[in-house]
Structure 1
Amino acid sequence: MSNFNNFFDSSPFDYNIDEKDINLIKSLRKNLQYQYNNCLPFKRLLEKRKFNFSNDFSLEDIPYIPVTIFKDYKLKSVKEELIVRKLTSSATSSQNPSQIFIDKHTRVNQMKSLVWILSSFLGKNKMPYLIMDIDPNLKKGDFELSARGAAIRGFLVGASKSSFCMNEQLEIDYEKFYSLIKDYEKSNEKFVLFGYTYIMYLYVAMKMKEKGEKLNLSNCIVMHIGGWKKLYDQKVSKEDFNKILVDVFGVRKDNILDVYGFTEQLGTVYISKGNGMKEVPKISKVLVRDPYTLEVLKDNQEGLLQFLNPIPYSYPGLSVLTDDLGVKCTINNKEYFEITGRAKNSEVRGCGDILSESM
């Protein structure tokens, strides 16, 4: 199996696209060979697609697995006894959650990747995190809360200490919240206000605005995760979201970090500052495909987002077609993208028949 120190030893965003693509193809070729030898369903997929990783190929040529396949099949490329963690993604009531099987090798590289990318935005010194959510220990057995808690814990690799600042009714614990803020202001210590996008907006910023609360958190970075799914119905734009946070918290717009990632490629996250687009690190490639023809689209054309990443080894997650819609662009020989919505019914199908023949 590969280590990725050739990526991790320099900045995630220190690249030009041509060099990046060459290095990715080298790493992905090794992963493809491993998956071919160790995951029978994926081997069958490559054979059905007549894909030969021994020949020259482009990143666009690599077969993808639709994200929904991970909800329907248990795909793994290592023996059961080597699995150290089984992850499940969020799911609607009509769906099964994705099941992702992690071994020690993959887990180590996922954590390295997350620290590597986060530190390029937050710096290398750990900071206190004020978590705008319920402490999962207060409501054990709540599946949604425990899932949020698991995601939150993953990001605490960059925390010097952490405090949950909401009660069991998902209301701000103002006494605790303001006390901690006062302490950090006195010590001039930089801190992170952290939580899920919809909670940060609906249950924190909007509730504080209704109460007429205004802060001046010049020493704060706001970081939110989990995506915009629960805000789509309310038609909240990123610009509107950021304006409310700037008005209520008194933070600089560029200190608001929107983090995108997904369970099927855990550890690699895509972050935007303020109203900007998400930067693509050099360990990943983002392609945009037409939702109907699945052909690769050019810059600034909306389609389904596909992510290629060589880190997943314990399962065939190196090329995933998501049900997120987005656009990508190239600026100064760097790659950026933005989420614009979700595919209708959040269903991206394909290749299940091929995989099932060898299950």
Structure 2
Amino acid sequence: MQHKIFNIQNAHQFSEVALAVFQHQFKHNKVYRSFCDLLFIHPSEVSKVEEIPFLPIQFFKSRKVLSSLDEIQETFTSSGTTGSSVSKHLVTDINLYKQSYLRGFAHFYGDITEYTVLALLPNYLERNGSSLVFMVADLIEKSKNTESGFYLDNIQELARKLVALDKRGQKTLLIGVSFALLDLIALQKFNLKNTTVMETGGMKGRRKEMIREELHTLLQSGFGVTEIHSEYGMTELLSQGYSKGKGIFETPPWMKILTRDTEDALTINSLEKNGGINIIDLANYNSCSFIASQDLGKVHENETFEVLGRFDNSDIRGCNLMVL
């Protein structure tokens, strides 16, 4: 099945594999099976992707979401405020994650060995269990470039390196959390020609929240680039979406975004309508591939999507099934 997941080439193949993964997880994932049973939904009645139930993402905080009996190789955890519960993604086959992010990066950006990878992820480096740090550390290693690396508080050194690499014509990926990228351009203005600047979100608790357009305008001006790229990922996923500008995201062939009605969590929206983001990530074969996130978004005709914000806890509807 893993071979099929990463060799999907069209919508028909995606649908075929997704339905097979649904049957597998219904059978082997106790939490997901209980959720489907409460909805009175059985695989025999599901003939298309839109009919598959999406598990509320909060279950990753309270349950072991597993479709495998294999030994757990990695546990990825979300960052949480003091006293809050965190999501845990129990990974029984770390190679699935590696395949997903390496193939995903290659799909959108090409060969990692062409890049110097500079990572500015201070709040992620300061804790254990970050799936983002795991991915970026491997990208740094796979770049086979001695100048690739992480930066924590040494942003002056990063600024010097960034200028030197760009002046040399070296293809560079600067990936960082929003507040740290803002700190970097507060230190120095840049005029980068050979660098991709990619933000991964992450303002909460560090700076005032700002809308994407405002953030990207500041970063474009500060780095001297025409577009700011973005990565859309989370602890509960083993795949990522990428935006090459203007907040328009694309997914790799084994990942799909749908939106659900904000008043009725079981109803899938038509295209171009705002709603809660539902994610199909077939790389999540050993956990759950069908997740109802707390993000709000819109899917366009060409299957690109935008992230428009998040549900307030008070706004989350249709989650009375959380009392499993």
Question: Which residue of the other structure, out of 236, 241, 252, is the alignment partner of 2:226?
Answer: 252
1:59 and 1:133, CA in 2 relative to 1: closer, same or farther beyond 3 A? closer
Q: CA deviation digits over 1:278-321, x for unaligned, max 9?
A: 11332122111122222222222221111112222322x21110
Specify the SS of the correspondent of 1:264: coil
Provide the rounded CA distance (Å) in 2 between the counterparts of 1:352 and 1:144.
32
1:33 equivalent in alignment to 2:33: no
Q: Match for 1:323: what amino acid? A: Q
1 or 2 for the larger relative contact order (CA 8 Å, sep ≥6)?
Answer: 1
1:223 equivalent in alignment to 2:193: no
Deviates more, 1:343-352 or 1:287-296: 343-352
Contact 1:225 1:258 in 2 (8 A): yes
Unaligned runs of 5+ in 2: none
The equivalent residue for 2:6 is 8
1:214 and 1:261, CA in 2 relative to 1: closer, same or farther beyond 3 A? same
The equivalent residue for 1:292 is 263
* Superposition TM-score, scaled by structure 2 size: 0.86
- Aligned-residue offset at 1:273: 1.6
Deviates more, 1:147-156 or 1:125-134: 147-156
The equivalent residue for 2:135 is 154
Question: Which residue of the other structure, out of 83, 87, 91, is the alignment partner of 2:80?
Answer: 91
Q: CA deviation digits over 1:86-113, x for unaligned, max 9?
A: 1211223453111211112xx2222212
The equivalent residue for 1:140 is none
Identity %: 23
Contact 2:76 2:131 in 1 (8 A): no
1:204 and 1:350, CA in 2 relative to 1: closer, same or farther beyond 3 A? farther
User: Max radius of gyration: which structure?
Assistant: 1
In the TM superposition, 1:106-185 aligns within 5 A as 107-126=94-113, 127-134=115-122, 145-147=126-128, 151-159=132-140, 160=143, 161=145, 162-167=148-153, 173-174=155-156, 176-185=157-166
Aligned residues: 315
Q: CA deviation digits over 1:89-141, x for unaligned, max 9?
A: 1223453111211112xx2222212112212332214221222244x8xxxxx
Question: Which residue of the other structure, out of 189, 200, 203, is the alignment partner of 1:214?
Answer: 189
* Superposition TM-score, scaled by structure 1 size: 0.78
Contact 1:218 1:252 in 2 (8 A): no
- Aligned-residue offset at 1:343: 0.6
Contact 1:227 1:260 in 2 (8 A): no
Unaligned runs of 5+ in 1: 137-142
Provide the rounded CA distance (Å) in 2 between the counterparts of 1:199 and 1:346.
30
